[in-house]
Amino acid sequence: PTTPGQRRQQPSETEDWKAVNEDLQKSCRYVIKNQTTGDRLKIRVVAVNAGGRSPPVSLPEAVLVKEVADRPKVRLPRFLRQRYVAHVGEKINLTIPFTGKPKPVVTWTKNGQPLDKKRVNIRSTERDSILFIRASEREDSGVYEMCVKVDDFDDKASLTLQIVELPGPPASVKIVDTWGFNVALEWTPPSDNGNTDITGYTIQKADKKTGDWFTVLEHYHRLNATISDLIMGNTYKFRVFAENKCGISEGAALTKDEAKILKTGIEYKAPEYKEHDFSEAPKFTTSLGDRATTVGYSTKLLCSVRGYPKPKIEWMKNQMIIGDDPKFRQICVQGICSLEIRKPGNFDGGVYACRAKNDHGEATVSCKLEVKQPAVADADKK
């Protein structure tokens, strides 16, 4: 059997081969130390056994001795590891530190494409890179990826910007029914949510005589409501505003029709109303959105559903019903359904789904949850 033999080196200008290991090496790996930066070395290896030495095998090209590079590493700040939300018009000024030696080459992309230099300004030093947007617009939303490279080594990190603004008004609102001192309203979500989830609605009423508007419901989550305690003999109109995390929409959806609360008398005969059937199959009015979190940081999935009778809600992970697993907290109030994943681990990522059922049907929405490893600042340098 052969024994790995001596490794020999030679400065490329001469043919004077010299063994760099005094003893025979059994390992197939060897580090040649204490070389002069800038030299070019030819290297060959000879195998040795009881029968003697093998012919040498040489590297095809001389090796340049150069300073050992520190592998590049992006140190993405913790607040940027989840979605970074800013309002339209705000200034974005984000500093992302990195390490590496010699000075890494820094490049940026947005959604996999080169940055628009008219919108985004990048300035990089030897220690960090700064992403600057003077006045953000919704079009600046997206996934920005930063890459640092030293020789053949590189490291990448991505951050998600979400630029939000006030929502538009609900697309429409109508009076569904009027009886006694009550009016039933229905409306549809706004066509423009301001690039973020709708968090509720504000409903107002106005008497035709005065025209003054009064709020009757605030932060209301459903798409239908019954307005009660109206005054006999008055005629009302209604309007609905949408609300997101930026605030309430500037405009409102206004009912085309009016609701008159009729007076009751001896000769008054109440009109015959066809009983309104509120039965409805489940329908999700807000879907689940894909999310990313870090190991150990609890996160919450949110969606909203309507339906009558009240739907039964089931949460699933990778098509398996979660049930009463204590790691998860399930809440459904006024059609707002939430699933909290408490201190997620490496195996808690996957496809999560919310299923709503009642006697008239069922509906399902789903999203992906990515659980990332936390960055360890010191371990990477070793």
Residues 19-44: tens digit of each pLDDT: 888 888 888 888 888 887 778 888 89
Instruction: Give a yes or no: residue 307 inside a domain.
Output: yes
Are residues 234 and 287 located together in one domain of the fold?
no
CATH number at residue 363: 2.60.40.10
Are residues 78 and 160 located together in one domain of the fold?
yes
Confidence at 382, pLDDT banded by 50, 70, 90: very low
Are residues 222 and 286 located together in one domain of the fold?
no
Please, are residues 145 and 226 in contact by the beta-carbon 8 Å criterion?
no
Q: What is the pLDDT of residue 1?
A: 47
Confidence at 4, pLDDT banded by 50, 70, 90: low
The rounded mean pLDDT for the chain is 88
Q: CA–CA separation, 189 vs 371, rounded Å?
A: 31
Q: What is the pLDDT of residue 307?
A: 92
Per-residue model confidence as pLDDT tens digits over 117-156:
899 999 999 999 999 999 999 999 999 999 999 888 899 9
Are residues 145 and 218 located together in one domain of the fold?
no
Are residues 345 and 321 located together in one domain of the fold?
yes
Per-residue model confidence as pLDDT tens digits over 337-357:
999 999 999 889 999 999 999
Last residue in a domain, options 164, 196, 229: 164
**Type and span of the H or E element at 239:** strand 235-244
Please, are residues 328 and 366 in contact by the beta-carbon 8 Å criterion?
no
Last residue in a domain, options 148, 164, 180: 164
Any bridge partners for residue 323, and if so which? none
Q: CA–CA separation, 58 vs 355, rounded Å?
A: 65
Domains contained in the chain, number: 3
Q: What is the pLDDT of residue 376?
A: 73
Instruction: Give a yes or no: residue 318 inside a domain.
Output: yes
Instruction: Give a yes or no: residue 344 inside a domain.
Output: yes
314: domain range?
280-372
139 three-state secondary structure: helix
Please, are residues 129 and 86 in contact by the beta-carbon 8 Å criterion?
no
Instruction: Give a yes or no: residue 226 inside a domain.
Output: yes
Please, are residues 98 and 104 in contact by the beta-carbon 8 Å criterion?
yes
Q: CA–CA separation, 323 vs 209, rounded Å?
A: 55
Are residues 154 and 128 located together in one domain of the fold?
yes
Last residue in a domain, options 146, 164, 182: 164
Are residues 76 and 158 located together in one domain of the fold?
yes
Are residues 185 and 135 located together in one domain of the fold?
no
Taking residues 296-323, what's their average pLDDT? 92
Taking residues 190-196, what's their average pLDDT? 93
Q: CA–CA separation, 26 vs 3, rounded Å?
A: 6
pLDDT at 3 exceeding the cut of 60: no
Instruction: Give a yes or no: residue 132 inside a domain.
Output: yes
Per-residue model confidence as pLDDT tens digits over 224-269:
999 999 988 899 999 999 999 999 999 999 999 999 988 764 455 6
Are residues 91 and 118 located together in one domain of the fold?
yes
Instruction: Give a yes or no: residue 351 inside a domain.
Output: yes
Instruction: Give a yes or no: residue 46 inside a domain.
Output: no
> Over pLDDT 70: what percentage of the chain?
92
Confidence at 363, pLDDT banded by 50, 70, 90: very high
Q: Largest Cα–Cα distance of the chain, in whole Å?
A: 126
- Over the range 162-181, which residues count as b (16 or more CB within 10 Å of their CB) and which as e? ebbbbbbbbeebebebbeee
Taking residues 45-65, what's their average pLDDT? 88
* pTM as predicted: 0.50
Are residues 254 and 179 located together in one domain of the fold?
yes
Q: CA–CA separation, 288 vs 169, rounded Å?
A: 22
Are residues 147 and 75 located together in one domain of the fold?
yes
